[in-house]
């Protein structure tokens, strides 16, 4: 039997889209070391690719050579491990049936997204695995420490965290870029081609997070051994593999990893999947691992232990040392004791109590752990300096073993705060670092709140107690029976059930089963309440598990099975006070401890958050080592040595996740109905004159009883540029309320733009912030925007839902079908200014940077004024790009390096410098923007006196900014040529729709949003456009007022004198459809048109024709407006028509060619 592995870790990437990571190479070293030390795998069996080595071609090539090129035997195993950025890429239409969001998941290679090189896509990895399985490799394991799902919540971690999620790759790659497509017959039709998509080979997939989470890396280790960046998943994986001493299944491995992540307050939930007939109950790598014999030997004058933190040991742990032939575990054969002075990852330095009894010639010695040290937990103190003085004094005291200072420490430089103590005006309360809600009742002094924190620390440490060197293996099964199904040693998710009128608590049965051929073992079963910190015995007391005749000496009664509570059902509950705070999900734990001898499990009990009085239950002259460990987990010893009788024991934990939905509320007719209140934060459903359905706040991510989450589909444009909007913060296992269930009734049609269904929140939107509510129609595979958000005069936020598309409704699977079909509305937040990447100034001049291997791909901007000044000083021919009302220069700038026709140089080749001007464009008057442009150019040294030639390429409203600068601010003395692309010189009828309730404007914006969210645009549209469209839905702004055909601004431009020194050029788009690519999406487009026209209340069908402008137009501006100038000199303006829509000018080669011609002439 042999194990072969390909391990890939990428810190550095060629593409600017994938930012640098710092822990991926460390992950590979750690995992490789673990495989070698724990499984005895020879180094030559492990192939490693790091950063620059891990190109797409190299990963594929090494997979084929190192794994596919082998003669696999029946018991051999293959491991593919990847640590780096995960992402998504646009999926060709042939994959859309299996990818409703039109995106492939992918692994980002070192050279991905440069020179036309794609990521390694999931279909390709599936193909490689299928080939490996076909080559008779029967045991394949894939481990991914990356955001493989791509649906991650776009939240940045703290300054010490990095998340492994690259943005969506919006480039389109041909089908023959897939590694398996070279074998496909190109003459096959679309239906036949679909049958050739490779099926999955049999394998186990273990990944670091759920598809809606991000995979995090941060510093791991300790002050004594040092800190290194690692992926949280990989570090927990290696800790688990190193510490456990018996063969476990992949399911158990996943559960142990999850427990370790939870113990450190990390929210990542590792996922496991058995693909194509694989079995999660298989033993890891199909083999028994090397047992952990803790050996002590002398190296360079120091006594060393061949185990460390990866085996669950820490500095301060105490050991007993025995000779080679001694009876291990008997006190009278112990030679001496030792304490771990410094714990490393895989070995440690010892301080020997009596080194004189140890002889170098007799080494190595065998050691067993007699007492483990618990490190203090870091907390952060926040608030009034005067109020925190008392808290710091208590932490520094620690005089009694039960004092909070024995368990807690204030966060240090490399510390990792698990909790925050808030102090304000004499009031104290405790929160998790990721949550703003107090965990428990506020206290009036520092001691009480620190006692709360210490109780939580004790709870966590007791739950995580384990024996890193047990020889017992895994002798007892924990069996949970829920909803008619048995779950053996598995985490279980239990849900409240709706009985037609109310929600009922979930109930389960619990049983312990001693496996065959196991010796008698004493057991205790403890319940850990995840909401109160209580620890209690599930069974009144411990007892013995034994088989018939297995213990004739003590004549124990044969009892291989024990049922908790005599077989009665056990109910679980989420308390009402938690539900009112928006907490619908908590996680409790059951901990089983089994031991060779009787032990007192009551040492671990703690009643909620009350402090122990310092008295332990039961007394004996000598505690065994398990009891000593239990005692130490509740009381900190102050350096005293206590002899403990060694005994072997082991433990396991299963998590019980309880889900209790919020109560449904009827939409009121008169007064607003409260849906959620947490402190001063409140969410209401506002009255509606006709709709009488039920609503409730809920979570988007539902899961089954095994905790596997259902996929939440998200448009690619939102996964790249938006974050999840939540109505309540997450806490622990609870992810927060981020969705709304709307139970439909016959009056659903009453919800309309004129009478929207409205949620109100008693806090305003931040500057530039917008919220988009949408639904996903799983049957038709469409995303549908439903409305927008606005801030009222009273400062409250109102989320308006203006349609209830019944075709997207589904029958709930949580027992509420009696309430009718329901829409699950999801919410995403976009911040317009953030997406513009403008930090301090709202109007800013910059120079673009392009990717070295892909000149058409924007890498970033330089806005630093001294740099811009220096570049402008050396340039004679300058091209300035100005974007439009719902844009950003990033959508334009790639065209300067685009090869638009054979034999022609890119238009940017004619210039010494390319500049961009980005500006706030919805609330600032066009005249003021033009003045800001003039000031920015002057600060850069670009003035008429400088003798430079400045050409301007302006899109949409940017052309009006440029005209005002030229015609009113003296720009005619500086500018040589102005090319206006899709500029509304005569105004836009869209702006005048404000007087009619915005109905047409909204419908136009909704139509564009539908196309964008469903990936039907001619070019990849970013979040800036979505945010701007949402902003247009929100209110009519200063800028939009000015764009009305009858505005004073438009009249003033229409009567302006002809600029004497500037050539005006117009590129006018014309399209009879929306900004949709009919050639690419013909079938899907026709389906969408029928869907919009017949099944929804969006009324968008008519706007997909020419009825909006009743003339040639580019879907935003009519042809007449583009060419409207002062009649006296209008004939001097050159007009070049092009078949193009408003958002595609700078990606369409024909349009770019026309633009280049106008600039060159």
> Phi, psi at residue 36, to the nearest 5°?
-70, -45
The answer to whether residues 89 and 232 belong to one domain is yes
Phi-psi region for residue 226, left (φ > 0), alpha (ψ -120 to 50) or beta? left
Classify residue 1152 by its DSSP letter. Answer: H
Two tokens, residue 170: 């919006």
- Which residues neighbour 398 within 8 Å (Cβ) at sequence distance 6 or greater? 404, 405, 406, 636
Q: How many whole angstroms separate alpha carbon 106 and alpha carbon 112? A: 10
Domain C-terminal end among 411, 437, 463: 463
The number of CA neighbours under 13 Å toward the Cβ of 133 is 21
The answer to whether residues 535 and 604 belong to one domain is yes
> Phi, psi at residue 406, to the nearest 5°?
-80, -15
- Using the structure block, give the residue that is written with the tokens 């909620």: 608
Q: How many whole angstroms separate alpha carbon 193 and alpha carbon 377? A: 57
Buried b (16+ CB within 10 A) or exposed e, 803-824: bbbeebbeebebbbeebbbbbb
Reported as type and span, the H/E element at residue 623 is none
Q: Are 1121 and 988 in contact (CB under 8 A)?
A: yes
| E strand spans, 987-1069 | 1063-1069
Buried b (16+ CB within 10 A) or exposed e, 361-383: eebebbbbbbbbbbebbbbbbeb
The answer to whether residues 581 and 500 belong to one domain is yes
| pLDDT value of residue 872 | 92
Q: Are 530 and 583 in contact (CB under 8 A)?
A: no
DSSP string, 763-779: SPPPTTEEEEEEEEETT
The answer to whether residues 849 and 747 belong to one domain is no
469 within a domain of the structure (yes/no): no
**CATH number assigned to the domain comprising residue 27:** 3.40.50.1460
Q: Are 1017 and 104 in contact (CB under 8 A)?
A: no
170 within a domain of the structure (yes/no): yes
- Using the structure block, give the residue that is written with the tokens 């809600």: 437
Domain C-terminal end among 439, 463, 487: 463
Q: Are 915 and 847 in contact (CB under 8 A)?
A: yes
Q: How many whole angstroms separate alpha carbon 482 and alpha carbon 659? A: 14
The number of CA neighbours under 13 Å toward the Cβ of 211 is 21
β-pairing verdict for 419-424 and 377-383: parallel
Q: With H, G, I as helix, E, B as strand and everything else as coil, classify residue 81.
A: strand
Specify which residues 526 forms β-bridges with.
537, 591
Two tokens, residue 133: 């399985």
Q: Are 696 and 714 in contact (CB under 8 A)?
A: no
Q: With H, G, I as helix, E, B as strand and everything else as coil, classify residue 1138.
A: strand
183 within a domain of the structure (yes/no): yes
The answer to whether residues 418 and 499 belong to one domain is no
Domain that holds residue 403: 377-463
CB atoms within 10 A of CB 289: 19
The answer to whether residues 783 and 847 belong to one domain is no
174 within a domain of the structure (yes/no): yes
CA distances from 827 to 75, 718, 737, 965 (A): 49, 10, 10, 40
Q: How many whole angstroms separate alpha carbon 899 and alpha carbon 1101? A: 36
The answer to whether residues 535 and 627 belong to one domain is yes
The answer to whether residues 458 and 484 belong to one domain is no
415 within a domain of the structure (yes/no): yes
Domain C-terminal end among 286, 313, 341: 286
The answer to whether residues 699 and 787 belong to one domain is yes
CA 490 to chain centre: 25
The answer to whether residues 750 and 813 belong to one domain is yes
| pLDDT value of residue 191 | 57
Two tokens, residue 226: 């040092």
Predicted TM-score (pTM) of this structure: 0.65
CB atoms within 10 A of CB 611: 17
Reported as type and span, the H/E element at residue 336 is strand 336-343
1029 within a domain of the structure (yes/no): no
The answer to whether residues 196 and 236 belong to one domain is yes
β-pairing verdict for 77-83 and 86-90: unpaired
Q: How many whole angstroms separate alpha carbon 878 and alpha carbon 887? A: 22
Q: How many domains does the chain have?
A: 6
- For the chain, 1161 residues long, the average pLDDT of each consecutive 10-residue run is 93 86 93 88 94 95 93 91 90 75 86 90 90 91 76 31 64 79 57 63 86 70 65 90 74 79 72 84 68 75 82 81 72 85 84 88 80 79 84 78 79 69 83 73 84 83 76 88 91 86 89 92 87 78 78 65 88 83 83 84 63 30 48 47 61 87 90 86 93 90 65 68 77 75 86 91 82 84 84 90 82 58 87 50 84 73 89 93 82 79 78 91 84 94 90 95 95 95 85 46 61 60 57 54 84 92 92 46 53 39 43 75 94 90 78 89 75
| pLDDT value of residue 837 | 46
Reported as type and span, the H/E element at residue 637 is none
Two tokens, residue 244: 């456990």
Q: How many whole angstroms separate alpha carbon 1006 and alpha carbon 1146? A: 23
Q: How many whole angstroms separate alpha carbon 885 and alpha carbon 1109? A: 19
Q: With H, G, I as helix, E, B as strand and everything else as coil, classify residue 625.
A: helix
**CATH number assigned to the domain comprising residue 359:** 2.40.10.410
855 within a domain of the structure (yes/no): yes
Q: With H, G, I as helix, E, B as strand and everything else as coil, classify residue 51.
A: helix
Q: How many whole angstroms separate alpha carbon 870 and alpha carbon 860? A: 18
The answer to whether residues 594 and 697 belong to one domain is no
1047 within a domain of the structure (yes/no): yes
**CATH number assigned to the domain comprising residue 455:** 3.40.50
Q: Are 1041 and 991 in contact (CB under 8 A)?
A: yes
């Amino acid at each position: 039997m042999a194990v072969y592995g390909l391990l890939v870790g990428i810190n550095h990437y060629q593409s600017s889209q994938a930012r640098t990571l710092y822990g991926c190479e460390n992950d590979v070293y750690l995992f490789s070391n673990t495989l070698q030390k724990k499984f005895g795998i020879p180094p030559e069996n492990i192939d490693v690719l790091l950063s620059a080595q891990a190109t797409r071609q190299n990963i594929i090539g090494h997979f084929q050579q190192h794994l596919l090129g082998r003669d696999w035997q029946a018991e051999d195993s293959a491991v593919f491990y990847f640590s780096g950025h995960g992402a998504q890429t646009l999926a060709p239409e042939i994959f859309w049936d299996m990818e409703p969001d039109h995106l492939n998941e992918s692994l980002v290679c070192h050279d991905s997204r440069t020179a036309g090189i794609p990521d390694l896509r999931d279909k390709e990895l599936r193909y490689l695995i299928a080939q490996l399985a076909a080559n008779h490799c029967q045991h394949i394991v894939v481990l991914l420490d990356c955001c493989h799902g791509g649906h991650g919540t776009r939240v940045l971690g703290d300054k010490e965290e990095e998340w492994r999620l690259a943005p969506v790759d919006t480039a389109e790659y041909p089908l023959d870029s897939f590694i398996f497509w070279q074998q496909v017959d190109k003459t096959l039709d679309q239906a036949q081609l679909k049958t050739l998509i490779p099926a999955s080979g049999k394998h186990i997939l273990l990944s670091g997070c759920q598809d809606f989470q991000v995979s995090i890396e941060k510093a791991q280790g300790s002050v004594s051994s040092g800190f290194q960046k690692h992926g949280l998943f990989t570090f927990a994986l290696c800790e688990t593999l190193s510490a456990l001493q018996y063969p476990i299944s992949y399911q158990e491995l996943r559960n142990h990893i999850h427990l370790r992540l939870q113990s450190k307050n990390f929210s990542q939930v590792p996922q496991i999947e058995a693909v194509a007939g694989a079995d999660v109950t298989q033993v890891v790598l199909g083999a028994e691992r090397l047992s952990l014999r803790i050996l002590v030997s002398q190296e360079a004058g120091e006594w060393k232990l061949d185990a460390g933190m990866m085996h669950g040991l820490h500095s301060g742990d105490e050991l007993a040392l025995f000779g080679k032939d001694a009876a291990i575990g008997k006190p009278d054969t112990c030679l001496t004791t030792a304490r771990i002075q410094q714990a490393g990852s895989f070995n440690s330095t010892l301080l020997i109590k009596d080194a004189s009894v140890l002889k170098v010639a007799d080494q190595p010695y065998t050691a067993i752990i007699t007492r483990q040290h618990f490190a203090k937990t870091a907390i952060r103190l926040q608030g009034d300096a005067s109020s925190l003085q008392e808290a710091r004094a208590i932490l520094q005291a620690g005089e009694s073993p039960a004092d909070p200072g024995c368990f807690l420490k204030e966060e240090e430089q490399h510390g990792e705060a698990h909790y925050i103590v808030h102090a304000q005006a004499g009031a104290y309360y405790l929160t998790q670092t990721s949550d703003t809600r107090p965990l428990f009742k506020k206290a009036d002094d520092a001691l009480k709140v620190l006692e709360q924190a210490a109780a939580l620390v004790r709870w966590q440490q007791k739950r995580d107690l384990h024996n890193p060197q047990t020889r017992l293996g895994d002798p007892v099964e924990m069996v949970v029976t829920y909803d008619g199904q048995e779950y053996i040693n598995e985490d279980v998710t239990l849900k409240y059930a709706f009985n037609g009128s109310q929600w009922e608590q979930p109930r389960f049965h619990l049983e312990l089963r001693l496996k065959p051929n196991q010796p008698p073992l004493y057991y205790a079963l403890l319940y850990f309440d995840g909401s109160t910190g209580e620890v209690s015995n599930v069974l009144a007391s411990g007892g013995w598990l034994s088989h018939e005749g297995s213990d004739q000496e003590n004549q124990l009664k044969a009892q291989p099975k024990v049922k908790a509570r005599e077989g009665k059902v056990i109910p679980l509950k989420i308390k009402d006070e938690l539900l009112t705070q928006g907490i619908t999900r908590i996680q409790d734990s059951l901990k089983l401890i089994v031991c060779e001898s009787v032990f007192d499990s009551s040492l671990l009990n703690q009643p909620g958050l009350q402090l122990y009085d310092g008295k332990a239950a039961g007394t004996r002259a000598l505690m065994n080592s398990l009891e000593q460990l239990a005692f130490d987990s509740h009381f900190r010893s102050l350096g005293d040595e206590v002899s403990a009788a060694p005994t072997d024991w082991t433990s396991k934990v299963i998590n019980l996740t309880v889900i209790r939905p919020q109560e449904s509320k009827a939409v009121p007719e008169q007064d607003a109905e409260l849906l959620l209140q947490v402190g001063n934060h409140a969410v209401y459903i506002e009255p509606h004159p006709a709709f009488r359905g039920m609503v409730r706040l809920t979570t988007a991510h539902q899961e089954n009883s095994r905790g596997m989450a259902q996929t939440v589909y998200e448009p690619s444009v939102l996964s790249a540029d938006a974050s999840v909007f939540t109505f309540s913060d997450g806490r622990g296992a609870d992810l927060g309320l981020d969705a709304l269930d709307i139970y439909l009734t016959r009056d659903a049609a009453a919800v309309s733009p004129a009478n929207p269904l409205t949620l109100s929140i008693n806090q305003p939107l931040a500057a530039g912030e917008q919220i988009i509510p949408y639904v996903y129609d799983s049957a038709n595979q469409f995303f549908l925007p439903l409305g927008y958000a606005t801030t009222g005069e009273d400062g409250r936020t109102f989320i308006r839902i203006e349609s209830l598309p019944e075709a997207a409704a589904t029958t709930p699977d949580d027992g509420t079908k009696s309430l009718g079909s329901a829409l699950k509305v999801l919410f995403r937040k976009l911040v317009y200014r953030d997406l513009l990447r403008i930090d301090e100034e709202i109007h800013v001049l910059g120079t673009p940077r392009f990717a070295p291997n892909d000149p058409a791909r924007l890498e970033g901007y330089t806005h630093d004024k001294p740099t811009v000044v220096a570049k402008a000083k050396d340039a004679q021919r300058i091209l300035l790009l100005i974007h439009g009302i719902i844009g950003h220069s990033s959508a334009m700038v790639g065209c300067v390096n685009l090869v638009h026709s054979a034999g022609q140089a890119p238009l940017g080749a004619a210039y010494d410098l390319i500049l961009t001007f980005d500006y706030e464009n919805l609330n600032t008057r066009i005249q003021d923007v033009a003045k800001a442009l003039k000031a920015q150019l002057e600060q850069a040294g670009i003035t008429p006196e400088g003798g430079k030639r400045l050409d301007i390429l302006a899109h949409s409203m940017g052309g009006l900014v440029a005209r005002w600068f030229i015609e009113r601010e003296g720009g005619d003395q500086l500018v040589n040529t102005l090319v206006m692309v899709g500029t509304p010189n005569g105004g836009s009828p869209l702006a005048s729709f404000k007087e009619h309730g915005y109905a047409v404007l909204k419908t136009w914006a909704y139509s564009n949003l539908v196309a964008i969210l469903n990936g039907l645009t001619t070019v990849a549209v970013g979040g800036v456009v979505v945010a701007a469209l949402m902003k247009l839905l929100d209110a009519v702004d200063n800028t939009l007022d000015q764009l009305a055909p009858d505005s004073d601004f438009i009249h003033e431009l229409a009567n302006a004198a002809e600029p004497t020194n500037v050539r005006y050029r117009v590129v006018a788009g014309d399209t009879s459809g929306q900004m949709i690519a009919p050639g690419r999406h013909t079938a899907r487009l026709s389906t969408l048109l029928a869907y919009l026209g017949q099944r929804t209340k969006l009324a968008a069908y008519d706007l997909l024709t020419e009825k909006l402008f009743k003339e040639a137009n580019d879907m935003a501006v009519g042809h007449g407006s583009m060419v409207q100038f002062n009649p006296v000199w209008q004939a001097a303006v050159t007009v070049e028509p092009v078949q193009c829509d408003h958002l595609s000018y700078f990606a369409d080669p024909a349009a770019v060619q026309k633009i280049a011609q106008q600039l060159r002439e």
